Amino acid sequence: MKPYTRTVQYYETDMMGIAHHANYIHWMEEARIDFMAQLGYPYARMEAEGVLSPVRALSVQYKKPCTFGDTVAIAVGVEAFNGVVLTIRYAMKRGDDTLCEAQSEHVFTDRSGRLVRMRRDMPAFCAAIERMIGQ
């Protein structure tokens, strides 16, 4: 998969000129949405089919700061998937420098909040995700 690339905007920085830590979580979401589109299952399609994917857990390790104008490449991969919980990993880099490593865990629900049996209801999606494990 092609990494998601973005430029740090001025409004995302604090008075020290450093990107505020909360922005990294927004960037993870942008990268995850791009990843799903590249996979062939954009979020809009899943939602149109009645499946939502809320975040269950989040882990972020900040390695180095980034500043206004930096170009950040975010590689997204699948750490694990058991049909209920999907764990996604992120590596944010500026050139060769690792800025942040993170993981997010997601479940799949219908609009009422009930868990969706993904292997039964979306087998092609599950197959695509399982091909990405470890990549």
Q: Mean pLDDT, the chain, as a whole number?
A: 94
The arrangement of secondary structure in 4-132, i.e. its CATH architecture, is: Roll (3.10)
How far apart CA 83 and CA 93 sit, in angstroms, is 30
SS3 9: coil
Whole-model pTM: value is: 0.93
How far apart CA 72 and CA 97 sit, in angstroms, is 10
Q: Can you name the residues that pair with 106 across neighbouring β-strands? A: 55, 86
Q: Can you name the residues that pair with 13 across neighbouring β-strands? A: 19
pLDDT tens for residues 50-86? 999 999 999 999 999 999 999 999 999 999 999 889 9
DSSP string, 25-85: HHHHHHHHHHHHHHHT--HHHHHHTT-B--EEEEEEEE-S--BTT-EEEEEEEEEEE-SS-
Mean pLDDT of 37-48: 92
What is the amino acid identity at position 30?
E
Q: Where are the domains of the chain?
A: 4-132
How far apart CA 97 and CA 81 sit, in angstroms, is 28
**Separation in Å, CA 106 to CA 3, 6, 20, 29:** 20, 23, 24, 12
pLDDT value, residue 100: 97
Where in the sequence numbering do the catalytic residues fall?
14
pLDDT value, residue 135: 73
Compute, in degrees rounded to 10, the torsion defined by CA atoms 12, 18, 23, 25: 170
